[in-house]
Amino acid sequence: MTANLLDFDLDGLAAFCERLGEKRFRATQLFRWIHQKGAAEFDEMSDLAKSLREKLKSTAEIRALPVLAQHISSDGTIKWLFDVGGGNAIETVFIPEEDRGTLCISSQAGCAVSCRFCSTGHQGFSRNLTVAEIISQLWFAEHFLRKHLSKSDRIISNVVMMGMGEPLQNYSALVPALRVMLNDHAYGLSRRRVTVSTSGVVPMIDRLGQDCPVALAVSLHASNDALRDDLVPLNKKYPIADLLQACKRYLHVAPRDFVTFEYCMLKGVNDTAAHANEIVKLVRLHGEHGAWCKFNLIPFNPFPESGLIRSDTAAVIAFAKILSDSGIVTTIRKTRGSDIDAACGQLAGDVNDRTDIHNRMTKRRIIPIRDVDRPVAVDKEDTVNDC
Ligand code: SAH
Ligand code: SF4
């Protein structure tokens, strides 16, 4: 069977090279060709012996996912839909900003967690993506963007596992994929700039801390268990107290000294002052002064089947003020790419390329809360990008 080399982290590739009777260091050369230079053909790999290239041609390939559609938003955000077979497509979103380029990657086709406010959750679960399918999104986007922008240096500086799917329910593919992202012979991303976002698979948060600690974002969305049971059904298995304790344990090994909580603002459901005060209590219960976490308030991206409505801006600002007045660093997420349905929890749209992204790199995404008495400090390095 032909091996897809996008499926391997460096150790896996070294083992593959050994099976071909080659020295392990060949794997590093090969890894660089694939991930740093974006080579898809073995004949491009000029410093590999011809005999090895022939051997590779008969046993391996570099097979990325076929692109079904590409949409470029008026704010420079780019969304790709990739075909993963069986009538399923996954989405990947690139978000350009002045000081970084973030890629939002999918981990599953569909999702089994079935959160009420998420259109992926409403689709149901199709299957886990393979390592190759996860890495293919980064491989394609990085090398496409370099060509598109005529640049030879790295374009993607941050990865967020915030596309379709629950990454911690596809753990065995997630970890090798993260290792490829972090490896200096591949994408060389900093652990602080790779974020796994989870709805709260508690045992897997602990395992991630042991196997491959990266930045952690947790989709909280509720201030008490009754509400969270309804919005994020996984809460019935791993309630809020267990989840917050797992977050605190994770901080012992995490590359950052805080966890980011995502909170999707749903009108009349989770956005009142009472909810905000409950959050403050929860955060205090688990650590002094709320300094161990940050909150990212996400305006809900509506879709008809959800029956839910986006909170009013005034409610979002009032909610943020309660959190920030209590000492919790809080940001309100600016929706990016909404004209192409690239915003969180949204899927395919059909919009033509209508921007020059060179001119759009200056846009900032995080909106510091300026309308409140005490502006919230925003450390751009420390904020999590969205899609
Ligand atoms: N399954 C993981 C990662 C993918 S979802 C998780 O739940 O964390 C990425 C983020 O988008 C999560 O915070 C999720 O709650 C949020 N999200 C999903 N649907 C949304 C919607 N319709 N509007 C706003 N945010 C949404
Ligand atoms: Fe799955 Fe995350 Fe959507 Fe919930 S929010 S259904 S966990 S993708």
Which pLDDT tens digit goes with each residue over 23-37? 989 999 999 999 999
Residue 263 lies in a domain: yes
- DSSP character string of 54-113: HHHHHHEE--PPPEEEEEE-TTS-EEEEEEEETTEEEEEEEEE-SS-EEEE---EEE-SS
Which protein residue's CA is at the shortest distance from atom 7 of ligand 1? 199
Mean pLDDT of the region 204-208:
98
Give the strand pairing for 366-367 and 329-333: antiparallel
Burial (CB count within 10 angstroms: exposed 0-12, middle 13-18, buried 19+), residue 304? exposed
In a domain, 318, yes or no: yes
Among candidate residues 46, 61, 76, the one where a domain is terminated? 61
Length of the chain: 387
Which domain range does residue 326 map to?
67-382
Segment among 149-153, 279-283, 302-306, 336-340 with least mean pLDDT: 336-340
CA 62 to CA 147: how far, in whole Å?
18
Looking at the fold, whether 273 and 352 belong to one and the same domain comes out as yes
126 contacts 88 by C-beta, under 8 angstroms: yes
Q: Tell me, what amino acid is at 52?
A: L
Average pLDDT over residues 60-88: 95
Domain count, the chain: 2
Tell me: do 202 and 57 sit in the same domain. no
Q: How far from chain centre, in Å, is Cα 379? A: 19
What integer best gives the mean pLDDT of the chain? 88
CA of 197 to the centre of ligand 2 (A): 10
Backbone φ and ψ for 295, nearest 5 degrees, come out as -115, 135
Q: Is 133 helix (H, G, I), strand (E, B) or coil?
A: helix
Structure tokens at 194: 């790779």
Q: Are residues 182 and 43 in the same domain?
A: no
Integer-rounded Cα radius of gyration of the chain: 21
Residue 306 CA: which ligand is closest? Answer: 1
Phi, psi of 126 (to 5 degrees): -100, -60
Q: Which of the residue ranges 12-21, 74-83, 338-347, 349-358 would you say has the lowest mean pLDDT? A: 349-358
- Residue 387 in any domain: the answer is no
Q: What pLDDT does 290 receive?
A: 61
Q: How far is the CA of 253 from the centre of ligand 1 (A)?
A: 25
Residue 319, pLDDT above cutoff 80 = yes
pLDDT digits (tens, 9 = 90+) for 258-316: 999 999 999 999 999 999 999 999 999 988 666 899 999 999 999 999 999 999 999 99
| Sign of the alpha-carbon torsion through 40, 43, 48, 54 | positive
Asked if pLDDT for residue 338 goes beyond 70, the answer is: no
Our mutation pick for probing the ligand 2 site, out of 116, 118, 236, counting the most ligand atoms within 8 A of Cβ, is 118
Q: What is the pLDDT of residue 152?
A: 85
Q: Are residues 54 and 193 in the same domain?
A: no
* Mean pLDDT along residues 102-107: 98
Q: Whose CA is nearest to atom 25 of ligand 1?
A: 344
- Parallel, antiparallel, or unpaired: how do β-strands 158-161 and 194-198 relate? parallel
Output the ligand 2 site: residues, CB below 6 A.
111, 113-115, 118, 120-121, 165-166, 199, 219
Residue finishing a domain among 44, 61, 78: 61
Examine the domain organization and report whether 38 and 72 are in the same domain: no
Is the same domain home to 15 and 134? no
Q: Which residues are catalytic?
A: 91, 344
C-alpha closest to that of 299 among 93, 147, 117, 29? 117
**What is the DSSP code string of 210-238?**
HH---EEEEE---SSHHHHHHHSGGGGTS
Ligand 2 centre to CA of 114 (Å) is: 6
Which candidate, 350, 342, 348, 36, places its Cα nearest to that of 162? 342
CATH number of the CATH domain containing 15: 1.10.150.530
Counting other chains too, the contacts that 175-178 makes at CB distance below 8 Å and 24 or more residues apart are: 175/208, 175/211, 175/212, 176/8, 176/9, 176/12, 176/131, 177/9, 177/131, 177/134, 177/135, 178/212, 178/214
Residue 76 belongs to a domain: yes
**Section 176-185 average pLDDT:** 98
Residues 21 and 143 reside in one and the same domain: no
